[in-house]
Amino acid sequence: MILEFEKPIKDLEARISGLHRLAGSNEGLQEEISRLEAALEAAKRRIYTNLTPYQRVQVARHPERPGFRDYRDAIASDFYELSGDRLGADDPAVRGGLARVGGQPVVLLGHDKGDDVKTRVASNFGMAHPEGYRKAGRLYALAERLRVPIVALVDTPGAFAGRRAEEHGQAWAISADLMELARVPVPVVAVVIGEGGSGGALAMCLADHVAMLENSYLSVIAPEACASIIFRDAKRAAEAAEAMKITAGDLLAHGIVDEVLPEPLGGAHNEPEAATSAVDRAVSAALERFSHVEPETIVKARYERYRRIGAHLSAGEVGGAPAERSLEGVGE
């Protein structure tokens, strides 16, 4: 899949590949290849350092972007998957279980979009049903019983909004997850690795530390849906994305998230190993930071963090990221 704004890059790559096949020892062609490679690097920097919010949304949705399984394999060892909601069903759109991250036992879970046509259809493209969110709640409760941290990898367009999901209690399942995350006395670390759509994402990212990959987004509604409602025209999605402030940089500036993880030039789908390594380092650092914090302190800080989001500062008050303020002095 080639995104519209990637076409100049792909054209240069195709020309370079063709010349490599013809070049051999021809010095003239080798010089042309070097010139085109320099132009390719310049084009990548020009395009990817100036992406619009909607272009970042498109990168976040790229079908070749690394997903839950890629990050799971990169950051965790001894992963033991746990399935089912214990009420009669399983949802492959949410996967999770016990694992070790940096040698530390954790409960690891996330949205799974699949990696080919068959698995994408089976997982409903990462749009979970109530069974998936009840499975997540079961894993949160397990983490509390075992006193191990929770690591969540968020990548969903949103919870499935079909009639069957509503009949089976979609809203109730998500709200129960939010209640569980609000009170669970263990560290919760969340990383938005792609799409962060609405309550489907929030059910996994009410956390003590929230990181986002550079080209991910987090929003209460998709730009196309927002444009349809506000402008009565889904084609104005780019305009809506600009106004909604849904990119990682915007959310960091507003204190909604704590960290933006850089992606390789060209996006995570071009160099998956670099992206998975960045997430691995961020998760390990966050877990280490919370490793000596008392459970009561964690819960209190989490409460204060979310109470503070969106609040207006009085004259003389100092802002800053929520986690930095709520945990100020912890561990000293």
| Residue range 77-92, pLDDT digits in tens | 999 999 999 988 999 9
Q: Return mean pLDDT, the chain.
A: 90
Asked if 59 contacts 65 with a C-beta cutoff of 8 angstroms, the reply is yes
> Token digits for 258?
């704590």
Asked if 101 contacts 151 with a C-beta cutoff of 8 angstroms, the reply is yes
| Separation CA 8–CA 136 (nearest Å) | 42
Place of tokens 């272009």: 55
Range with the poorest average pLDDT among 16-25, 97-106, 266-275:
16-25
Asked if 159 contacts 133 with a C-beta cutoff of 8 angstroms, the reply is yes
pLDDT at 312 over 80: no
What percentage of the chain exceeds 90 in pLDDT?
71
φ and ψ at residue 111, rounded to 5 degrees = -85, 135
pLDDT at 228 over 90: yes
pLDDT of residue 205: 93
C-alpha closest to that of 279 among 266, 257, 267, 262: 262
Asked if 322 contacts 255 with a C-beta cutoff of 8 angstroms, the reply is yes
The DSSP H or E segment spanning 150 is strand 150-156
pLDDT of residue 315: 61
Asked if 68 contacts 111 with a C-beta cutoff of 8 angstroms, the reply is yes
Inter-residue long-range contacts of 207-210, CB under 8 Å, 24+ positions, other chains counted = 207/150, 207/152, 207/181, 207/302, 208/286, 208/290, 208/298, 208/301, 208/302, 208/305, 208/323, 209/258, 209/259, 209/286, 209/289, 209/290, 209/323, 210/256, 210/257, 210/258, 210/259
pLDDT digit string, tens, across residues 284-306? 999 999 999 999 999 999 999 99
pLDDT of residue 6: 85
What percentage of the chain exceeds 70 in pLDDT?
92
pLDDT of residue 317: 59
pLDDT of residue 24: 64
pLDDT of residue 16: 83
pLDDT bucket at 266, cuts 50 / 70 / 90: confident
Q: What is the mean pLDDT of residues 37-57?
A: 90
Q: What angle do CA 32, 38, 43 make, to 5 degrees?
A: 120
**Which CA distances in Å does 201 have to 25, 39, 98, 228, 316?**
54, 39, 21, 21, 34
pLDDT of residue 52: 95
pLDDT of residue 17: 83
Helix axes 223-230, 53-60, angle to 10 degrees: 130
| Separation CA 160–CA 55 (nearest Å) | 24
pLDDT bucket at 327, cuts 50 / 70 / 90: low
Asked if 242 contacts 227 with a C-beta cutoff of 8 angstroms, the reply is no
